[in-house]
A and B are shown apart, each in its own frame.
Chain A
Amino acid sequence: MDILNALVAILNYVVVPATAYGAQLALGALGVTLIYGILRFSNFAHGDTMAFGTAITILITWALQSAGIGFGPLPTALIALPFGIAATALLVLGTDKIVYSYYRKVRAAPVVLTMVSVGVMFLMNGLTRLLIGVDEIKFADGARFLISAQEFKKATGLAEPLAIRSTQAITVITAAIVVAALFWFLAKTRTGKSMRAFSDNEDLALLSGINPSRVVAMTWIIAAALATIAGTLYGLDKSFKAFNYFQLLLPVFAAAIVGGLGNPLGAIAGGFIIAYSEVAVTYAWKKVAMYLIPGFQPDSLLQLLSTEYKFAVSFTILIIVLLFKPTGLFKGKSV
């Protein structure tokens, strides 16, 4: 019984939240890694692209709600999502035309483009705050739980509860569908293959008649979609606050780099590695330890780091990986 209780506690406080968070990070890291692989720079504005996309999605969610349109047990934000994606795609395509295209034309070094993206980041940051403000916003509606703690305890008779919020389930399912669609697109379609070819060997892609402006535009559109979906899922699961999205940049980049920049499979693995480490390191293991070791009464919470330090986890993993495997765990491009 105690072992079961320990398992349920781990599931409830580590596995379920880390899986949802990992899926959100993976989607964010996929966007970063695609831009790195194809446009060849680290896009620091990606966190704020996520924030902008989510903000638009929230505004449209509110409009839908006030018009009395809902999505049954599912959050209304899912209906608003395509509009958020479209608006974000327009924003990044506009940014590319006004800002990045110039630096591509003069063949600027990647680090220059990265610095430019920092400027874009501040602009997007301001834009999002103007649009929706700086406060914390909760916009999840529909059913709250897939499995509630009460039901679970009643059904199993265990002391430990297990709750799965519907936003967590939606996050994982949506992420799985998006990732499958993205991999199918990259592996099977002509456009997807041309994007990989461009990422592999730009000069040869040009010689083969692949149109670079089309590849660039497709990359931005996909990155915008990934960013908006990742941001909206994160916001549904937790809450929306512009500043938090700026902070998300660190774990998202850590995930992309740990997995191997430019490698989509690596971005997904990296997202889960970062999420699981962050949650596991900041979780208080006291209860689990007490279940597993009878008679054990620790004085501390058995928590390695308090949650305020969770970003230190991304940093530490990042540094370890960069020291021992600079191209990431999966084969990526060296940073």
Chain B
Amino acid sequence: MSFLDASSMTGGYGAADILHDCTLKVEKGQIAVIVGPNGAGKSTAMKAVFGMLRLRAGKVTLDGDDITALSPQERVRKGMGFVPQVNNVFPTMSVEENLEMGAFIRTDDFRDTMEQVYDLFPILREKRFQNAGELSGGQRQQVAVGRALMTKPKLLMLDEPTAGVSPIVMDELFDRIIEVARTGISILMVEQNARQALEIADMGYVLVQGANRYTDTGAALMADPEVRRTFLGG
């Protein structure tokens, strides 16, 4: 069984379903990437996996445990970390305070983890006393990822971590994400930059209208002429 196994998720915000029988899986220490057109339900699928959406059908298991009925907070305690697409930092709090809030549920000493985050994103160490709201887009995304890492999650979920950053910063961020995966953390990531994301993906999911359209390894999807033509722009 996969480390994260979210099978046949069906549900939405109100009466109408957004997700239709959507399935996402991530293996231990691997990177899974969700791509698809705007409004396909990628963010909705992330919320469903994280327990922010009531599912009408489907099941989510993490490391073999059924977590379908758990609240987002309980899922954090179970080892999930989530970086939302928007509003993912505390803007009037310093970088360091953002990280502290990430570790809010921890009762042990988290200074080691903070050092690890600073090692991963050295710019954050430099800006530790600056308010997160005053940072550049790329730096803010690093704060957001760092905040989620503070609970030492086993599964890190990122919703468009490279949104609004320059190509150079995007490559940087992808490198960091690979580094995180190398430490054994599984990663489930939504990406607008489909090509670059599938290049680093172990598994790729193409979502269209809330349903799985293509599911394969990142390399296979990149090689599929049909996928290339419709979703990767040739």
Per-position 1/0 for A184-218, Cβ under 8 A of B: 00000010011011001101111111100000000
Q: Is the CB of A201 within 8 A of B89?
A: yes
Smallest CB gap from A263: residue in B: B92
CA distance A190 to B93 in the complex (A): 13
**Cβ contact of A204, chosen from B73, B77, B88, cutoff 8 A:** B88
Q: Restricting to B33-57, which residues have a CB under 8 Å from any CB of A?
A: none
Per-position 1/0 for B154-166, Cβ under 8 A of A: 0000000000000
**Cβ contact of B90, chosen from A190, A196, A206, cutoff 8 A:** A196
Q: Is the CB of A203 within 8 A of B87?
A: yes
Q: Is the CB of B93 within 8 A of A196?
A: yes
* Nearest chain B CB to A271 CB, angstrom units: 21
Q: Is the CB of B89 within 8 A of A208?
A: no
Given contacts A200-B91, A200-B92, whether A206 and B73 have CB atoms under 8 Å apart is yes
Q: Is the CB of B93 within 8 A of A193?
A: yes
Q: Is the CB of A208 within 8 A of B102?
A: yes
**Cβ contact of A208, chosen from B87, B91, B92, B104, cutoff 8 A:** B104
* Nearest chain A CB to B176 CB, angstrom units: 20
List chain B residues, Cβ under 8 A from A194.
Answer: 101, 104
Given contacts A193-B97, A196-B93, whether A201 and B87 have CB atoms under 8 Å apart is yes
List chain B residues, Cβ under 8 A from A193.
Answer: 93, 97, 100-101
- Give the interface size class of chain B: 20 to 34
Q: Is the CB of A204 within 8 A of B84?
A: yes
Given contacts A193-B97, A196-B93, A200-B93, whether A207 and B87 have CB atoms under 8 Å apart is no
Q: Restricting to B56-114, which residues have a CB under 8 Å from any CB of A?
A: 72-73, 76-77, 82, 84, 87-93, 97, 100-102, 104-105
CA distance A19 to B129 in the complex (A): 33
Smallest CB gap from B103: residue in A: A208
- Interface size on A (CB < 8 Å)? 15
User: B147 near A: Cβ within 8 Å?
Assistant: yes
Most buried by B among A193, A201, A203, A210: A201
Given contacts A193-B100, A193-B101, whether A200 and B76 have CB atoms under 8 Å apart is no
Given contacts A208-B102, A209-B105, whether A203 and B84 have CB atoms under 8 Å apart is yes
Smallest CB gap from B150: residue in A: A208
Smallest CB gap from B87: residue in A: A201
CA distance A203 to B147 in the complex (A): 14
CA distance A210 to B91 in the complex (A): 17
Q: Is the CB of A207 within 8 A of B76?
A: yes
List chain B residues, Cβ under 8 A from A197.
Answer: 90, 93, 97, 101, 104
Most buried by B among A196, A208, A210: A208
Q: Is the CB of B84 within 8 A of A208?
A: no
Smallest CB gap from B50: residue in A: A207
* Nearest chain A CB to B132 CB, angstrom units: 9
List chain B residues, Cβ under 8 A from A209.
Answer: 73, 76-77, 104-105
Per-position 1/0 for B189-229, Cβ under 8 A of A: 00000000000000000000000000000000000000000
Given contacts A193-B97, A193-B101, A209-B73, whether A204 and B87 have CB atoms under 8 Å apart is yes
* Nearest chain B CB to A94 CB, angstrom units: 27
Most buried by A among B77, B88, B101, B102: B101
Most buried by A among B72, B76, B90, B105: B90
List chain A residues, Cβ under 8 A from B105.
Answer: 208-209
* Nearest chain B CB to A198 CB, angstrom units: 9
Q: Is the CB of A210 within 8 A of B87?
A: no
Smallest CB gap from A262: residue in B: B92
Q: Is the CB of A207 within 8 A of B72?
A: yes
CA distance A208 to B148 in the complex (A): 8
Q: Is the CB of B90 within 8 A of A204?
A: yes
Q: Is the CB of A207 within 8 A of B100?
A: no
CA distance A235 to B104 in the complex (A): 41
CA distance A201 to B102 in the complex (A): 13
Smallest CB gap from A193: residue in B: B97
List chain B residues, Cβ under 8 A from A190.
Answer: 100, 104
In the A-B complex, the 8 residue pairs with the smallest Cβ-Cβ separation, listed nearest first, are A209-B105, A200-B90, A197-B101, A208-B104, A197-B90, A209-B73, A209-B104, A208-B101
9 contacts between A and B (CB under 8 A): A193-B101, A194-B104, A197-B104, A201-B91, A204-B89, A205-B101, A208-B101, A208-B102, A208-B147
Residues of chain B at the chain A interface (Cβ within 8 Å): 72-73, 76-77, 82, 84, 87-93, 97, 100-102, 104-105, 147
Q: A190-B104, A204-B88, A207-B76 are in contact. List 12 more A-B contacts (CB 8 A).
A: A193-B97, A197-B101, A197-B104, A200-B90, A201-B87, A201-B89, A204-B90, A204-B101, A207-B72, A208-B76, A208-B105, A209-B73
Residues of chain A at the chain B interface (Cβ within 8 Å): 190, 193-194, 196-197, 200-201, 203-210
